[in-house]
Amino acid sequence: MGAPVVSPQSDGNRLNQSQPPPHMSQSQTKQLYYSDDLYTPEALFSSWLNLSFFSVTTALLFYHMTVAKSIEADPRIAAFLSLSLMGISCAYVYFSVGPYWSRMNHIQQMCVDLKECSDSQAASIKRHKNVYVSLGFGTILIEVVVAILILYKTYSLL
């Protein structure tokens, strides 16, 4: 999907190994739940969401400025440009969910395989993954509703 992803089949990806890397001690593997291995996928997903929010904010600001006549533009052109930015914003979220899901599934499985993570930590990883994915799709839904409202407003202006 959208963001660069290290393939689960890649030999160079230490997250995809069922055994801890040779440079990790037993005490470090016990800390998997609190490590960068867990937070990196979340940080990447958060970055894509930030880009999406920036894009939708720009779209809405531009549309508002044209409707408020701060910028002289045909309402159809303004709607088209705003809806295009919102579509790109939705694509950012949509194409970032897949890699996030895969990465977090792998971290969850790694936690279970290492047996140093407790069952509650593995369950927490799964719960957070599901919540964040749901919020990502919720964001897309809200953006689609706003886009429909813009279309309706533009249609009524004509």
Higher-scoring residue by pLDDT: 158, 2: 158
Of the pLDDT bands very low, low, confident and very high (cuts 50, 70, 90), residue 76 is confident
Is residue 7 a part of any domain in this protein? no
pLDDT per position as a tens digit, 105-151 = 998 888 888 877 888 888 888 999 999 999 999 999 999 999 999 99
Is residue 6 a part of any domain in this protein? no
Q: How many domains does the chain have?
A: 1
Is residue 92 a part of any domain in this protein? yes
Domain interval for residue 138: 36-157
Q: What's residue 153's pLDDT?
A: 86
Q: What residue type is 106 in one-letter code?
A: H
What is the DSSP track for the chain? --S----TT-TT-GGG-SSPPTT--HHHHTTGGGSHHHHHHHHHHHHHHHHHHHHHHHHHHHHHHHHTTSS---HHHHHHHHHHHHHHHHHHHHHHHHHHHHHHHHHHHHHHHHS-S-HHHHHHHHHHHHHHHHHHHHHHHHHHHHHHHHHHHHHHH-
User: Quick count: other Cβ atoms within 10 Å of Cβ 28?
Assistant: 13
Average pLDDT over residues 28-52: 79
- Separation CA 10–CA 106 (nearest Å): 13
Is residue 95 a part of any domain in this protein? yes
CA atoms within 13 A on the CB side of 121: 19
The enclosing domain of 149 has a CATH number of 1.10.132
